[in-house]
Amino acid sequence: MKKNLIYTIIGCCILTLTACNDSIMDATSKHVYNESESPYLKVNADALVTKDMEFSVGHFAAQTINLSDYADKFKANMNMTVDQVIAGLKDGTVVFYNISTTKNTWNKAPMTKGTTGWYYNSAGGVCTSTDETLTASIDIDTNAKTLTVNATRNAKAGTVMPLNVGFAVKGPDYDDCVRFKFNVSIVDPSIILTSITIPSDKAFSIDFNQYAVVIETCMGMSVEEFITNLDNNGGKTIHMYVINTKTGVWDSTSGYTANAPGYWMNNLGAVCAWGTTGFTLYAETDAEKQMLNLGRADGLAAGSEYKISVGYKDTNNEKNFFRFIITVTLE
């Protein structure tokens, strides 16, 4: 009995050692991914290119990077020149895919923007051109050897999203790669947010020169050129408007009701005439002093607060505009 027990124990040990050996072999061998699998992404900081990209509402312009600028990364991480990477894309030995950072895998989603790239929704996920939250796109130009990132026309200000794509030697493990992370943000430089307090006996003035960069960016001109082109009930191209603070709709039908260019507004921030029910605040453009003057009607209670919005738009080029959203407190 004792002899049999000893043989049994020895046999178990041998089986255990054999199993351990198999486990070691499995752990050190490379997994070969088939076409239906999403390859695991090897974390390698040296293979990562990070670019911050800001897009301005109303002034979207594509941003392009040249792959040749990262030739050293392709050489170090894929042992290939940029030309070899492009050639590999054409013969199938190199892949260009999206990357799922949440799953830490390569995303083999087919291209949705023709044969050159993908569309993305506001969360950074691959989508089609009909997606309601369509926000951005990435294109590859194999002839120019470039990647181009762009915001779509319905991209919303305030959106922040990462786009992750990469190149990899196809199989067996996709570890030889270079990846790009584009941190895309959608901003609206045309909005100037400010809070002011209007004394009981005088107006409050906003100096346009404090916002020279905004005017240059959004109007494509200097403060002096902006002032020179302001209309005065006609004749010039830049018109002043009142804007609904809730809907963002520009009032394109009301004429000036204060010293032109300027308006009286009621307690809801809509255009009205002086002396009409609810007339509360006025906003007038002082071209000589390059100021926006804001004043109040008589008899309003101290501490009252209102929100108004006024803006300026080039009637010859409606992509050129900027606006103030102003919180007004009365002293």
Residue 192 CA to residue 326 CA, distance in Å, equals: 8
Mean pLDDT for 240-267 is: 95
**For residues 46-81, b (16+ Cβ closer than 10 Å) or e, as one string?**
ebbbeeebebbbbbbeebebebeebbebbeebbebe
- The model's pLDDT over 284-331, given as tens digits with 9 standing for 90+, comes to 999 999 999 999 999 999 999 999 999 999 999 988 999 999 999 999
Beta-sheet strand order (sheet of 117-121): 63-66, 146-151, 134-141, 117-121, 126-127
- The model's pLDDT over 80-130, given as tens digits with 9 standing for 90+, comes to 999 999 999 999 999 999 999 889 999 999 999 999 999 999 999 999 999
CB contact set of 87 (below 8 Å; sequence gap of 6+)? 94
The closest alpha carbon to 42, from 166, 138, 151, 143, belongs to: 166
The beta-strand segments (E) located in 172-278 are 177-187, 191-198, 204-207, 238-242, 262-266, 271-272
Neighbours of 120 (CB within 10 A): 29
Residues above pLDDT 70, as percent of the chain: 89
| Long-range contacts, stretch 15-24, CB < 8 angstroms, 24+ apart | none
- The model's pLDDT over 114-170, given as tens digits with 9 standing for 90+, comes to 999 999 999 999 999 999 999 999 999 999 999 999 999 889 989 999 999 999 999
Q: What pLDDT score does 24 carry?
A: 33
State the pTM of this model.
0.69
Q: What pLDDT score does 22 carry?
A: 38
Mean pLDDT for 8-23 is: 47
Mean pLDDT for 21-40 is: 59
Contact 67, 150 (CB under 8 A): no
The structural domains of the chain, ordered by start, are 45-187 (2.60.40.10), 191-330 (2.60.40)
- The model's pLDDT over 183-200, given as tens digits with 9 standing for 90+, comes to 999 999 999 999 999 998
The answer, yes or no, to whether residue 4 has pLDDT greater than 60, is no
Contact 218, 57 (CB under 8 A): no
